[in-house]
Amino acid sequence: MTRAAIVLIVVAVTGPALPLVVWSVSHGWWFPSVLPDGFSLRAWNYVFQSDAGVFTALFTSLGIAVAVTLITMLLGVPAGRALGMHSFPGRRAAEFLLLAPIIVPGLAVFMGVHIFFIRIGLVDTALGVIIAQLLPCLPYMTVIMSGVFANYEREAEQQARCLGARSFQVFLHITLPAIMPGIVTGGLFVFLVSWSQYVLTLLVGGGRVITLPLLLFSFAQSGDHAIAAALSLVFVLPAIVVLVVTSRYISGTSPALGGMGRI
C-alpha cells in the first residue's frame, strides 16, 4: 500500500472528527465564519464534572455493550455451528426467525418488545435493555459464525478425538483457534450495534437507564453544540479502541492467537 493511499485512509477516518474537535473547544462558531469566534474549555469542564453524569452513562453503556457481546457469543457460536455445518428440517425457518429482527422495520419490533416487557416487568431496568438488545445483535453473530463454520474442516477435531482428546480439549485447542477471527469479527459488530442503540434503550429503559447515546442526543437537541461535540468524541473513542484492538485478531497478527494456533 502506497503512502498516498495510507494518507487518504487516515484523512477519511479522522476528517469527520476534526469539526467535532473544534466545536468542543469553541466559544461560538457561526456561519459564515471559517473559525470560531473564540475558544473555551467549558464543554470539557462539564464532561469531567462528577455531577454531570457523563462517566456514569459511559460505564453504563460499556457494561451493557460488553454483556450483550458476551451473551451473543455464547448463543451465536453454537447457533452458527448448527446452521453452517448441519442440514435439518426447518433450517430455513430458523434462519428467517434469526434474521427477522433486522429485516422487519426496527420501530415495529421495538414497540412490540416494549409492550411485552411491560407485561413481564422488565422495563426501566438494565437487564431489560440487555435482553432487548439481543434481538438486533444476535443475528450478526449468528450469520458471521454460520459463514465461518460453513468453511470449517472437521478432520482436525476427529483426529484429536482419535488421539484421546476430550470434547472440551478439542474445542479449546482445535476449534476455538480456528474460529477465533470470526468470533472477534462478530463481537466487534455486536459491540458497535449495542453501543450505538438509542431508540431501543429509550423505550425499554424508560429514561431511567441512561446510556451515552441518550445523553448525547439530549444535548444535540438542546442546541449546545460545544457539549454535544465533546460528548460525541467521548462516544466515538471506545469504539475506536475496540476496533484497533480487535483488528490485530482479525488480521491474524495477534501473538495470543498465533500461540493458540500452534497448540
Q: How many other CB atoms sit within 10 Å of the CB of residue 166?
A: 10
Domain positions in the chain:
55-225+238-261
Q: What pTM did the predictor assign?
A: 0.82
pLDDT band at 5; cut points 50, 70, 90: low
Rounded Cα–Cα distance for residues 51 and 114 (Å): 30
User: What residue type is assigned to position 193 of the chain?
Assistant: V
CATH level 2 (architecture), domain 55-225+238-261: Orthogonal Bundle (1.10)
pLDDT for the residue 98: 79
Pairs from 107-110 (Cβ < 8 Å, separation ≥ 24): 107/199, 109/135, 109/136, 110/199, 110/200, 110/203, 110/204
State the average pLDDT for the chain. 82
Rounded Cα–Cα distance for residues 69 and 134 (Å): 9
The upper half-sphere exposure of residue 200, i.e. CA atoms within 13 Å in the direction of its Cβ, equals 26
Closest CA to 81 of 145, 155, 12, 10: 145
C-alpha cell at 37: 469566534
| pLDDT tens profile 87-101 | 878 778 888 887 877
| pLDDT tens profile 48-67 | 887 888 889 999 999 999 99
pLDDT band at 131; cut points 50, 70, 90: very high
pLDDT for the residue 254: 52
**In the block, residue with C-alpha cell 434462519:** 95
More confident residue, 230 or 222: 230
Answer whether 133's CB lies under 8 Å from 194's CB.
yes
pLDDT for the residue 171: 85
pLDDT for the residue 13: 65
pLDDT at 228 over 90: no
pLDDT band at 255; cut points 50, 70, 90: very low
Strands 26-28 and 38-39 turn out to be: antiparallel
pLDDT for the residue 263: 36
Q: How many other CB atoms sit within 10 Å of the CB of residue 83?
A: 21
Buried b (16+ CB within 10 A) or exposed e, 227-262: bbbbbbbbbeebeeebeeebeebbeeebeebeebee
C-alpha cell at 63: 457494561
User: What residue type is assigned to position 251 of the chain?
Assistant: S
Q: How large a percentage of the chain has pLDDT more than 90?
A: 18
Q: How large a percentage of the chain has pLDDT more than 70?
A: 87
pLDDT band at 22; cut points 50, 70, 90: confident
